[in-house]
Each structure stands twice: as C-alpha cells, then as structure tokens.
Amino acid sequence: MAQSMTSMFRDGQEYMNIWPVKKELYAIFPECRVISATRLAIKTMPPMAVLACAMMINTFGAEYLPQAIAIGAFFLSLPMQGLLWLGHRSNQLLPPQLRSWYQEVHSKMRAEGCAVQSLKSRPQYRELASLLKTAFSDLDRMLTRHWFQ
C-alpha cells in the first residue's frame, strides 16, 4: 500500500511522539537514536541552513547562489529524512521474533491489570511503541503504588 509523502511525515511525527525514548531501549531499537537525531535536526538545521547560505554568498558572491541554495536545501532536508524514516518504520509489520515478544509483553501487562489495546494478530511498530509507552508509564506507576502503600 503506497502512502503519500504528507501521510508519511504525519505518521513519523506521531511515531516520534509515541515512542518511549528510554535508555533501556537504545541498545535494542534504532528508533531512539533516530528520534534524538531528528529532534536535534528540527531545532538546529534551519538556522544552520541560513547561516551556511549567508556565509557562502558573503564569501563567494552572488554567482554562487545556486550552490548556496543547494546547501541550504540539504540542511533543511535532514530533519525531513528522519521523519520519513520514522513514518515508514511505524507502518512496517513486526518481524516474527519481535511479534512474539510483543505478545508476551501484552499478556504480562494484561495480567498486571494495565489498560492496553486489544492484541493485534499482525502488529506494526506503532502498536509496539504504544504498548511500550504504556508499559513504561503504567507499570512504573503500579510498582511505585505497591511499594508506597
């Protein structure tokens, strides 16, 4: 199923907001590193693009305007590449090993009494992100409630 670019950007933005960026997940999933890099790029690349263009035009003159625009477009494309990767990744089906782990975590969370979405037969990475976010927020809250009551 082909997606439009705008829906991939939107899915990437949603996936970036859903995925729990926790130190425990950095070694397992590349999402944490991509999300951190994309957030940094969203903040820093627009000023870098303006600075690079201004410096190039100031140094070499107006005859280098096409090259300056190309460099500026490159800097501006970096955060968009991260969002596109995240949007594409969020719609991919989980591989079999990860699918069984997803089902195991889902059943453990149900046993603990967490409110989770229904179990999907063909889960995607966005369902895993939602489940992990719920696990990190609800299970931590439930464990601290047990300790301090």
- Domain ends where: 74, 91, 108? 91
The amino acid at 110: R
3/44 same-domain check: yes
Q: Positive or negative, the Cα torsion across 133, 95, 24, 33? A: negative
Shared-domain flag, residues 85 and 123: no
66 and 110 assigned to the same domain: no
Angle CA 45–82–36, to nearest 5: 75
Same domain, 65 and 104: no
pTM here?
0.86
Last residue of a domain, one of 91, 117, 136: 91
Residue 68 is part of which domain span?
A: 1-91
44, 113: one domain: no
Domain identity same for 43 and 115: no
Last residue of a domain, one of 50, 69, 91: 91
Whole-angstrom Cα distance, residue 71 to residue 97? 42
3-class state of residue 124 by DSSP: strand
Question: What pLDDT, in 10s, does the model give residues 28-79?
Answer: 999 999 999 999 999 999 999 999 999 999 999 999 999 999 999 999 999 9
Do both 64 and 43 map to the same domain?
Answer: yes
76-97 per-position pLDDT tens digit: 999 999 999 999 999 999 999 9
pLDDT band at 147 (very low <50, low <70, confident <90, very high): very low
Domain count for the chain = 2
Same domain, 99 and 84: no
Q: Transcribe 11-71 into DSSP letters.
A: HHHHHHHHS---GGGTTT-THHHHHHHHHHHHHHHHHHHHHHHHHHHHHH-GGGHHHHHHH
Residues 15 and 50 reside in one and the same domain: yes
pLDDT in tens, 106-142: 988 888 888 788 888 899 999 999 999 988 887 766 6
